Amino acid sequence: MKALQAALGELLGDAQLVAETLPGTDLKLWLIDANNMDRAFSPEETRRILEEPPYWCFCWASGLVLARWFAEHPEWVAGKRVLDFGAGSGVAAIAAAKAGAAEVVACDLDPLALAACRANAELNGVTLSYSDDFFAEADRFDLIVVADVLYDRANLPLLDHFLSRGQQALVADSRVRDFNHPLYQRLDILEACTWPDLAEPAEFRYVSLYHATR
């Protein structure tokens, strides 16, 4: 936790990490203090945030959707080997573990994100494994879960890579509306917001959930 708090402090001065219960769930995460988001950021703070966004101290809408989905539909992960790609705060990985997954790997390139995953796993009393290289993982997973990592259509080739390491993929995304991929079928469109609430445009509060089987 000390390393995470120090990293956040370097970006936003007096910003604090606080343990917050996510709306509509029984999960807690270490998140940026919502009160800190109400003030105006200096030009230097804005520059630092844009260069190194502390995405690991937010629960993005798609991660919240997956957390609720696994709680309501544990059969998706119960007894299965799951990898959370671009884990960020680890919310989807933690939700999968709490829903009875046999093994969950939180995978992220960012060391701070993996540190956040560890801190959040401890906060929720679950055990995760960790990886910083998706392509170094063996093709042994039952399900690859992905929340808000596509951002734009230029990243859509990742959809094929997900199925190179898992039998199935479950992808939640609030930015890309229609994958137009032959293997991915939309299951639902669900509403959620980033937490703390960033007052994002209404369109980003609707999360598309897609499933693929190879």
Helix (H, G, I), strand (E, B) or coil at 195: strand
Instruction: Please give the Cα distance from 209 to 110 (Å, whole number).
Output: 25
Instruction: Please give the Cα distance from 3 to 184 (Å, whole number).
Output: 38
11 domain-assigned: no
Kindly give the residue spans of alpha helices, DSSP state H, lying in the chain.
Answer: 2-12, 43-51, 61-72, 91-98, 111-124, 158-162
For residue 201, give its domain range.
Answer: 61-213
51 domain-assigned: no
Segment 186-191 long-range contacts (CB within 8 Å, at least 24 positions apart):
186/210, 187/211, 190/65, 190/68, 190/69
Kindly give the residue spans of alpha helices, DSSP state H, lying in 76-165.
Answer: 91-98, 111-124, 158-162
27 domain-assigned: no
175 domain-assigned: yes
43 domain-assigned: no
117 domain-assigned: yes
Who's near 93: CB < 8 A, 6+ residues apart? 82, 84, 87, 104, 105, 106, 117, 121, 128, 145
Domain count, the chain: 1
Residue 107 φ/ψ, nearest 5 degrees? -120, 125
From 1, 156, 174, 27, select the one nearest 93 (Cα to Cα): 27
User: Alpha-carbon torsion 117, 122, 125, 131, what sign?
Assistant: positive
Q: Which residues partner with 103 through β-bridges? A: 81
CA distances from 70 to 22, 99, 102, 105, 111 (A): 14, 6, 14, 16, 26
Predicted structure pTM score: 0.93
35 domain-assigned: no
Residue 39 has a pLDDT of 65
Instruction: Please give the Cα distance from 64 to 56 (Å, whole number).
Output: 13
pLDDT, block means (10 residues), the chain with 214 residues: 87 86 96 77 71 86 97 98 97 98 97 97 98 98 95 86 97 87 95 86 91 96
Domain CATH code at residue 118: 3.40.50.150
Residue 38 has a pLDDT of 65
Instruction: Please give the Cα distance from 13 to 45 (Å, whole number).
Output: 8
120 domain-assigned: yes
Who's near 57: CB < 8 A, 6+ residues apart? 4, 8, 17, 30, 31, 32, 89, 116
